[in-house]
Amino acid sequence: MKKIGIITSGYLPVPASKGGAVETLDEYLLKQNENEGNFEFVIFSAFDNRAKAESAKYPKSRFVFVKNSSFIDRLDKTIFLLAKKLFKNKQSSSFRYIIKRIHFIREVGRQLNGMDLDYLLFENNATLFSALRYRDNFKKYSGKYGLHLHNVIKNSFGNDKYIMNVNRVIGVSQYINSTLKLKYPAIGDSRFKVLRNSVDSTMFLQMEGSSKFSEFREKFGIKSRDIVFLFTGRISKEKGVLETVKAFNIIKKPNFKLLIVGSSFFNTDVTDSFEQQVQSEVKNSEGQIIFTGFVPHDEIGVLYNIADVCVLPSVWDDPAPLTIIEAITSGKPIITSDSGGIPEYVNGKNAIIIKRDGNFLVNISKAMNHLAGDDAMRSEMSNESLRLSKKLTIAQYYLNFSKIVMEQLNE
């Protein structure tokens, strides 16, 4: 059985006891591997008590948890507080776990040197390649490591050599792969593969009539004839939440409701002033826009079930947002943008794709108003989403991952 090392971010743990999109995807591989058993995964993760306890559910995987000292935590907190004073915007969040990650990378490098793994997969962050600097790690794992790419790499942190020598870049979309191709043309097209993201479909099953479904509708004051629009994701400028709120206010009618779900930077002490701006807009909506605040991940599916239409108009080049996949899996009509990798996941039959131009806001509002008044169109779009969802399951994700990795191992 091949031993596959997965080097995670170093600040959120796997199993994903504290959330995180990438960490959740890693755990999907662990879950499915318990059924399929193609690999022995070796997971390098930040330490967390709950994550360590949950790791017992995955006997076919081995976990290397890197624990911090209280001194590292205090030092990181001090750096972050200073960064917040210097940077009056979201840039400060990038300073939250600097020392923790340096410590993590050093320990991963040391551990790798004493192991003999068949393949390494670095999760998304260019800093993690520094683990190959330790002793002879680069020589030892040359030709045996890849990058799982979720976001644009803006800074290599001096690791260009290690990035250019990856034998596979496994991107979540063709779009995100294209950004790295532009930065490192020497890598070559043959080394780029696409592994589309997935979600746990069991969390998004039809729940109408369930006690939780009724409880949430009552909690948010949603009546049987209301048309419910849903926005879920980080409350940040790039996700298009402000555009969603403004578009809704253009066309709001007495039986329209907009649910805004999510919180900025997970559930840590990092906050975003943009969230305050959104909350201000919500207050001017006369109660028809409902900001739910943080909702536990295992209850998100209920909110998708309540919704009639999902509005997810990213304004930045979003590589492959999980919210889009969640909406597809929930069987919902979608209003979204021509952002990044989104058009690779939806089509014109299950989504209205809005061009990000001068009419972006107006066209979002028009799409919302049109779908609110066309039951038949919503039904057709829902059916198409359910059809597409069959290719976005955990089982399919694991199968596609296995094909990519085994292809490399067999070369």
Helix, coil or strand: residue 147: strand
* Beta strand segments in 158-305, E: 168-171, 192-194, 227-232, 256-261, 289-293
In the predicted model, is pLDDT for residue 130 greater than 50? yes
- Tell me, what's the pLDDT at 270? 46
- Mean pLDDT in the chain? 93
Indicate the pLDDT class of residue 266, thresholds 50, 70 and 90: very low
- 288-341 pLDDT, tens digit per residue, is 999 887 788 788 999 999 999 999 999 999 999 999 999 999 999 999 999 999
- Tell me, what's the pLDDT at 90? 56
Indicate the pLDDT class of residue 265, thresholds 50, 70 and 90: very low
Residues contacting 2, CB < 8 A, separation 6+ = 38, 39, 40, 118, 119, 405, 406, 409
Locate tokens 């939780």: which residue?
A: 212
All structural domains of the chain: 2-198+393-409 (3.40.50.2000), 201-389 (3.40.50.2000)
Name the residue among 304, 312, 326 with its Cα closest to residue 367: 312
- Tell me, what's the pLDDT at 292? 84
Which of 88-97, 217-226, 356-365 bottoms out in mean pLDDT, i.e. has the lowest? Answer: 88-97
In the predicted model, is pLDDT for residue 91 greater than 80? no
Helix, coil or strand: residue 56: helix
- 190-217 pLDDT, tens digit per residue, is 999 999 999 999 999 877 767 888 889 9
- 306-317 pLDDT, tens digit per residue, is 999 999 999 999
Distance from C-alpha of 311 to C-alpha of 363, rounded to nearest angstrom: 12
